[in-house]
Structure 1
Amino acid sequence: MSVAPPSASAKLSAPIDLPLVRRHFGQPQRVAESDFLRREVSNRMQERLALVKIEPRQVLDAGCGEGADLPVLQKRYPQAQVLGLDGALGMLDVAAQHQRSAQSSLDRLFGSVNRWLGTPASSGPELVCGDFAQLPLAPNSLDLVWSNLAVHWHPQPDRVFAEWRRVLRVEGLLMFSCFGPDSLREVRTAFESIDLAPHTLPFVDMHDFGDMLVNAGFSTPVMDMETITVTYATPRRLLADVRAWGGNPLETRRRGLLSRSQYQRLLQSFEAMRGSDGKIPLTFEVVYGHAFRPVPRTTAAGESIIRLDFPKK
């Protein structure tokens, strides 16, 4: 009996406990403590987005969390319909609260003007709960999919990219960021003094993400990365932020608690990493990607499409 080798997508899919991810990010007060990194990466993504000349009618923020990127996207594209999607209801509740607060402030400023003009106040971005790989959206319904530090939490990113291509219109843009394999390397090193169990996600290499995008049907994906180092005064503060960023949601994770001696060894391992500035570093490899849904080369019936660009007279 022969067994077929696993596919490339199977090798790149991590055994992530998705319900655990949703429960974790359903605790907004815990997640908010580490939001500074997401804000920094969002700002860097916005700089990249400013270089792309598009005028989207419908925009999706996939993994919107507490909704911090929604008003930024709405301001950049004031005529667009912006939709925020997340798998954690707790985060969407906070996003809705922020939106109501912002809207009430606008109502106080412009309510009398709207009433005088007879124009309704804007309701702001819409929010929906859903899975990245099973979007509750029609095919060809979006012009821009934006996703900030979210796709690495899904166990099947290849399916996610295929779904994002499905909902994008022709020449629609996907722009995303995620953690690369060098992220949290200090955490992996420190836990090696305890056991050989996995204590962080096996983050996907950006070249493999590029291959996934091509296989999903995107054209000319552009991938790049940079390293961001966050420093800490204490290992306990570092570990608290690692938990807030999502911790270890692998199904193969260690289930038992550390003993007192193991925990002390862990802290000592982090202490040994202090640099000349006296701080403990924590590395993040941040991967950025963008790609377009191309014009189809065949019709639904299979006929080839040939574009003829005649010279202008």
Structure 2
Amino acid sequence: MPSLFDPKHVRRAFSRAATSYQAAAVLQQEVAKRLLESLDYLEEKQPQVVLDIGSGPAYSTAAMKKRWPKAQVIALDLAMPMLVEAKKQAGWWRPFSRVCADARALPLADNSVDVIFSNLCLQWVEDLPAVFAGFRRVLKPGGLLVCSTFGPDTLVELREAFAHADDTAHVSNFVQIAQFGDALMMAGFRNPVLDRDLFTLTYDDLPALMRELKAIGATNAMSNRRHTLTGRGRFAAARDAYEPLRRTDGKLPSSWEVIYAQAWAPEPGAPIREQGHDVAAVPVSAIPIRRKPRE
């Protein structure tokens, strides 16, 4: 069965976006700030090794190195050009390590990391339980995982607009919050806490939205995507379908659902899945939605 996502396309898209990402990724930086606040769960504990998976240009990596100057902080990203940009964040006074690798195959030893931080990277991963199992492998017992991903309400307006143009998927599929929680439990993580936000960004027109998606590398990475240009006719059909959503301020809205999770690695010898316990689904009704407009 073919993979849902094309990892080579993901690498190319983020490599091309390396120089434009920092300026365009306003939402990503806002989500990163909220994730960084989650590190207060460590209280006074000083981690020895911190891993930022999908670091991009290392905005969060630099913040964690500032927070824990004595720790070994590692920026890991699939795209080498992102790590070149990350070097600018490090500086000679707070250097951190940079590793080009895939989140699905972490090149780190078992039980070697105290904190894994991953901001808006996991939406490009198809097999979440397998990836989380890899995260658990490298985390020390009791280590902390703090991560975020996009939920299914992300770019829903764009998805529906292009559905009027053709039958090809133009927006990647994003995981439900309950599935995200299930994947953590399946990998053996303990005490997961999930939350979500729904942001609304606005744009002058559809081309402006598409330019921003390209600037942050968030292009359609699905394996069954159209491999030819969209074409003027299909783009015009999508534009016309989007237009009725224009707001009274003259802007077009774009929804971005963000799922946050915190979880702890189990003690040594804990099974991947406890006997007698099914996967603990997280009811959507129990998850608060904080609606944060960003315009």
Determine what percentage of the aligned residue pairs are the same residue. 37
The one-letter code of the counterpart of 1:87 is L
Aligned to 1:137: 108
Quick one: distance in 2 between partners of 1:220 and 1:51? Answer: 13
Quick one: distance in 2 between partners of 1:285 and 1:298? Answer: 33
Q: Which has the larger radius of gyration?
A: 1
Aligned to 2:7: 18
Say whether 1:259 aligns with 2:231: yes
Q: How many Å apart are 1:157 and its aligned residue?
A: 2.0
**Structure 1 stretches lacking a partner, 5+ long:** 1-9, 107-121, 300-313
Task: Note if contact 2:62-2:89 (Cα within 8 Å) is conserved in structure 1.
Answer: no
Say whether 1:73 aligns with 2:68: no
CA RMSD in angstroms comes to 1.9
1:45 corresponds to which of 17, 35, 42: 35
Task: Note if contact 1:14-1:156 (Cα within 8 Å) is conserved in structure 2.
Answer: no
1:155 corresponds to which of 99, 113, 126: 126
| Alignment deviations for residues 41-81 of structure 1 (CA, whole Å, 9 cap, x no partner) | 01111222224423211000001111111110011112211
Aligned to 1:203: 174
The one-letter code of the counterpart of 1:136 is P
Aligned to 2:75: 84
Q: How many Å apart are 1:217 and its aligned residue?
A: 1.0
Change over 3 Å in CA distance of 1:298–1:33 after alignment to 2 = closer
Matches within 5 A, 1:128-277: 128-245=99-216, 246-277=218-249
Task: Note if contact 1:194-1:262 (Cα within 8 Å) is conserved in structure 2.
Answer: yes
The one-letter code of the counterpart of 1:49 is L
TM-score (norm 1): 0.81
The one-letter code of the counterpart of 1:21 is V
Quick one: distance in 2 between partners of 1:87 and 1:238? Answer: 24
The one-letter code of the counterpart of 1:133 is R
Say whether 1:35 aligns with 2:25: yes
Q: How many Å apart are 1:176 and its aligned residue?
A: 0.2
| Alignment deviations for residues 115-159 of structure 1 (CA, whole Å, 9 cap, x no partner) | xxxxxxx6x110011111211100000000000000111232221
Task: Note if contact 2:108-2:138 (Cα within 8 Å) is conserved in structure 1.
Answer: yes
1:57 corresponds to which of 18, 34, 48: 48
Change over 3 Å in CA distance of 1:215–1:298 after alignment to 2 = closer
How many corresponding residue pairs?
268
TM-score (norm 2): 0.86
Q: How many Å apart are 1:281 and its aligned residue?
A: 0.6
Quick one: distance in 2 between partners of 1:298 and 1:286? Answer: 30
Quick one: distance in 1 between partners of 2:178 and 2:270? Answer: 28
Q: How many Å apart are 1:32 and its aligned residue?
A: 3.6
Task: Note if contact 1:63-1:148 (Cα within 8 Å) is conserved in structure 2.
Answer: yes
The one-letter code of the counterpart of 2:49 is Q
Change over 3 Å in CA distance of 1:49–1:98 after alignment to 2 = closer
Q: How many Å apart are 1:211 and its aligned residue?
A: 0.9
Q: How many Å apart are 1:30 and its aligned residue?
A: 3.9
